Amino acid sequence: MRLFEVLLVLSCFSLLADVLFVKRAAVKTGMALSIGSIVILVIHLLIEGYRWQMLLVYIMTGLFIIIVSSKHLQKNMETKIGKPLKYSLAAVTVVIMVVSLFLLVYMPVFHLPKPDGPEKVGTQTFHLTDLGRDEVLTEEQSDKRELMIQIWYPTENKNNNKSELLFPKDKEMFKKYIQTYSNSLNLPDFVFDYWKYSKTNTYENTAILPSTSPYPVILLSHGMGTSRVLHASQAENLASHGYIVVTIDHTYSTFATIFPDGRVTDYKTKMTTIDERREIGKIWTQDVEFVIDQIEKLNSGAIESQFKGKIDLNHLGVMGHSFGGAADV
């Protein structure tokens, strides 16, 4: 749970205590609780941001602020509450808070763990098209195989840029990305909306750290039906130790891949037979081979980038998770 989420839950319980146990004469106490709760709520919404797991807490806090304020401001208002109603209100509030706390704890706003290497980490994303290979996973015969890769590398971050979000920061792109993922699980779109707050430890488009020798490079393939996003922490950690890491999205075998023009592709891979698995394995292996060719071009300067002469192609490793590991062998 985030700081102001904890404070808001505590303020809600404090307001409940005022409603049930504090006499109307204690005006200063009640108004201080109301104002304090409003301040906490506003700061939470402005700095941390709304998330649906807090909805019941928002409703209860707003309701109690109205009751407490009315109780202390209206001199002629009688607020005697019988024991049955008092205990019922307390029980309902506790149940609502327990449900909210369960959602907050088990669906938290997560941030990637800090890398344990000495270097800061930068990242750049590249859109690649293999013009010599037809896309066999779409119905359009003119489609060529397109890939998104992300390169992670040691950096100085001299401009003190802020670390990047894990998922697309553009609202429309993020919405498409989450819709694609939630639809694959038959869940409502809002369920994963809170992922927009998740942060990495990476700085986008910063300069690569100067070095007297080129950096060893590692290619990393995700598992079937997942995404390069799931390996961001692993890539960050390797880059912090002086590696260049290239993560690949194997298009149409991810839960979602987003392209610079706003297109979002989903999972279209069929794996019901041995022959289909072999065919997909071949596609993934060709993806890796193509990306290695592009890395060579980045290093030679054939593709213009800051990585010219920075990549040690004599120390190139390939790794992957599950199907990604099998395709790399």
**Using one digit for the tens of pLDDT, what is the confidence trace for 281-304?**
999 999 999 999 999 999 999 999
Q: What SS3 class is residue 267?
A: coil
CA max distance for the chain: 84
Domain map of the chain by residue range?
3-106, 120-328
Question: Any residues with CB less than 8 A from the CB of 79 and at least 6 apart, and which?
Answer: 19, 24, 71
Q: How confident is the model at residue 44, as a pLDDT?
A: 97
Q: Do 209 and 154 form a contact (C-beta atoms < 8 A)?
A: yes
Neighbours of 320 (CB within 10 A): 22
From the number of C-beta atoms within 10 Å of its C-beta (0-12, 13-18, 19+), residue 74 rates as exposed
Residue 277 amino acid letter: R
- Give the per-residue pLDDT at 192: 94
pLDDT, position 16: 85
Instruction: For residue range 207-248, list pLDDT tens digits in order.
Output: 999 999 999 999 999 999 999 999 999 999 999 999 999 999
Domain 120-328 falls under CATH 3.40.630.30: no
Residues 6+ apart with CB under 8 A from 204: 122, 123, 124, 161, 164
Q: What is the pLDDT of residue 21?
A: 76
Low-confidence ranges of the chain (pLDDT < 70): 23-26, 72-82, 329
CA dihedral of 316, 321, 322, 325, whole degrees rounded to 10 = 0
Antiparallel, parallel or unpaired: β 264-265 and 257-258: antiparallel
